[in-house]
Amino acid sequence: MRFIVISIRKYFFTVLFLLFTLSLILFSSANLEAAQNGLKLWSNSVVPTLFPFFIATELLCRTNFIHILGKFLNRFMKPVFGVPGQSAIAIIMGIISGYPVGAKVVCNLYENHMCTKTEAERLIAFTNNSGPIFILGSVGVSLLGNVQIGKILLISHILSSLLVGFVFRFWKKNQTNLTSNTWQSQTKELIRVSNLGEILGESIKKSISTILSIGGFVVLFSVILSILTSTQILTSFANLLTNIGIPHNIALSILSGIIELTNGLQTASLCYTNLPTSCILTCSFLLGFGGISVLLQVFSIISKSGISIKPYFYGKILHALFSVILTFILL
């Protein structure tokens, strides 16, 4: 048994990627269409909405705005969320911009020594969220055709995020020792007229790298979903959930959304006419969780910094559960 376990660990990724490569060949037609759709989604929606925010956050981290915000909000942020006042920028940008800007801001704060590793892990658990434009426009108006439902989803999403932040103030409670002169060590890096061009160029280069990485994830997971659909794997798991009383389309949307958010929401919206409450609660759950695709995007952003992905994963599960409860109450 021990030999089998060791063998599985040793060859798991080899077998997995081999099967993935074979699936790309066997289902090439469906995969090509899925990749094209993923590229369209990235170029038409992701780049215009997220790229400017990436540049903005890079530039803000090189000004004294975060220092001023930190002084103003420190008395509130410390007791409620267990993080320094400068961290408020991560909460604000995470709420108004969407996945994965919050994670990028947290990573910038940590790399600029404005918070400790423990505080960064607390922040990562609740500052990476779906944006209001996506929830109100894409989900509320485009998919469900009801702006009021979009508002309910947005309110529950934001409140759930803040609740998760409050819960995670206890994450590694005894390990918060923020050094006192963190901002002073960054004063030489502030943006000025003399270095404006250099810093702007660096910000754009970093933002391009991040947005290209996100594009790769969008295309990859569009293809993965296509393979799971073509092989009937997704349908088989949905049938298992159907056997315990979950409607087939709802089960399919949950499984799709856990893998990739947008596809799951689109599938859930098909149930809005027949199962409106189940559809809305499913959308709320998926918006809170974000999907494995977003999780890996966040992981790619924070991996070099040493920030653990565990609090993010736990936080998104809590976020999804809180969202469903609050959405049900608001409905």
Task: Classify residue 244 as exposed, middle or buried by CB count within 10 Å of its CB (0-12, 13-18, 19+).
Answer: exposed
- Give the pair of three-digit tokens for residue 202: 């660096």
**194 pLDDT more than 50:** yes
**180 pLDDT more than 80:** no
Binned at pLDDT 50, 70 and 90, residue 3 comes out as low
> CB neighbours of 135 closer than 8 A, spacing ≥ 6?
150, 153, 154, 157, 287
Residues 159 and 300: their CA atoms lie apart, in Å, by 27
Q: pLDDT at position 155, please?
A: 95
Residues 198 and 190: their CA atoms lie apart, in Å, by 12
Q: For residue 319, which of 54, 78, 95, 92 has the smallest C-alpha distance?
A: 95
Tell which phi-psi region holds residue 102, choosing left (phi > 0), alpha (psi between -120 and 50) or beta: alpha
Contact between residue 101 and residue 132 where contact means Cβ atoms under 8 Å apart: no
Provide the mean pLDDT of the chain. 83
Of residues 2 and 202, more confidence is placed in 202
- Give the pair of three-digit tokens for residue 147: 């702006």
Mean pLDDT in residue range 266-287: 90
**219 pLDDT more than 50:** yes
> CB neighbours of 164 closer than 8 A, spacing ≥ 6?
125, 126, 315, 318, 319, 322
CB-CB neighbours of 187 under 10 Å:
9
**251 pLDDT more than 50:** yes
**245 pLDDT more than 70:** yes
Residues 140 and 284: their CA atoms lie apart, in Å, by 11
pTM (2 decimals)? 0.82
Q: What is the Cα 329 distance to its own chain's centre?
A: 25
Residues 285 and 282: their CA atoms lie apart, in Å, by 5
> Could you report the per-residue pLDDT of 88-120, keeping only the tens digit for each?
888 888 888 778 878 888 988 888 888 888 899
DSSP code of 270?
Answer: T
**289 pLDDT more than 60:** yes
Mean pLDDT in residue range 46-75: 76
Binned at pLDDT 50, 70 and 90, residue 218 comes out as confident
Mean pLDDT in residue range 140-165: 92
DSSP-derived secondary structure for 13-71: HHHHHHHHHHHHHHTHHHHHHHHHHHHHHIIIIIHHHHHHHHHHHHHHTTSSHHHHHHH
Q: Highest mean pLDDT: which of 125-129, 223-227, 283-287?
A: 283-287
> Could you report the per-residue pLDDT of 56-70, keeping only the tens digit for each?
877 877 777 777 777
Tell me the H-state helices in 231-291.
233-242, 248-259, 261-269, 276-289
Q: What angle do CA 285, 104, 183 make, to 5 degrees?
A: 130
Residues 325 and 237: their CA atoms lie apart, in Å, by 25
**185 pLDDT more than 70:** no
Backbone angles phi, psi at 274, to 5 degrees: -85, -35
Binned at pLDDT 50, 70 and 90, residue 281 comes out as very high
- Give the pair of three-digit tokens for residue 195: 């270095």
Mean pLDDT in residue range 274-293: 92
Residues 75 and 210: their CA atoms lie apart, in Å, by 33
Q: pLDDT at position 1, please?
A: 64
Q: pLDDT at position 191, please?
A: 65
Binned at pLDDT 50, 70 and 90, residue 157 comes out as very high
Q: pLDDT at position 122, please?
A: 92
> CB neighbours of 85 closer than 8 A, spacing ≥ 6?
69, 70, 71, 72, 73, 74, 75, 76, 77, 78
Residues 207 and 58: their CA atoms lie apart, in Å, by 8
> Could you report the per-residue pLDDT of 301-315, keeping only the tens digit for each?
888 888 889 999 999
Helix (H, G, I), strand (E, B) or coil at 183: coil
Q: pLDDT at position 258, please?
A: 92
Contact between residue 114 and residue 84 where contact means Cβ atoms under 8 Å apart: yes
Binned at pLDDT 50, 70 and 90, residue 183 comes out as very low
Percentage of the residues of the chain whose pLDDT score is greater than 70 = 91
Residues 118 and 321: their CA atoms lie apart, in Å, by 24
